Amino acid sequence: MDAKTKASVLHDVIRRFGTGGSDITSADWEQFVEAQNDGFQTGPEMGERVPGFSLSDQNDRRWTLNDLMGPKGLLLVFSRSADW
């Protein structure tokens, strides 16, 4: 899928979601997922050090990787969005 098609699919399905989504077919949905998965990357490899960061949470408290880390590790989940 080229960049133009991907952009158009992504805009289109979200717009149709916005108006109820009843006209979205399963083929549309498959295309929507495919448009997002092209060139799928998964980031740092096993054994690789992850990038450092400092971010605020839902209560405006700041956390670095060290702050979050438990005695045996940290499960860090990257989600699409909490908003939709």
Partner 1 sequence: MEKLRSQGVNAAAITYDSPQILHDFGEAYKIEYPLLSDVGSKVIRAFGILNTNIPEDHEMMYGMPWPGDYLIAPDGTVRDKFFLRDYQHRPSASQIVVRHFDGDGGSNTVNVTADQLSAAITLSTDRCFPGQEIAVSLGIKLKPGWHIYGKPLPDRYRATELILHGPLVEGLALEFPAPRPMLLKALGETLPVYEGEVRALGKLGIKWSPPAPVPFLEAFGKWIAPGAYKIEGELHFQPCSDSICELPQAVKFELPMQLEAGIPPAPKKTPQQ
Under the rule (CB under 8 A), what is the footprint of partner 1? Answer: 3, 6-7, 10-11, 14, 21-22, 24-26, 28-29, 33, 35-53, 55-61, 63, 65, 68-84
Which backbone phi and psi does 71 adopt, to 5 degrees?
-60, -30
CB of 3 to partner 1, least distance (A): 8
As a whole number of angstroms, the distance between CA 35 and CA 51 comes to 27
Of 19 and 40, which has the nearer Cβ to partner 1? 40
CB of 63 to partner 1, least distance (A): 6
Which residues neighbour 71 within 8 Å (Cβ) at sequence distance 6 or greater?
Answer: none
User: How far is 23 from 42, CA to CA, in rounded Å?
Assistant: 33
Q: Minimum Å distance from CB 2 to partner 1?
A: 11
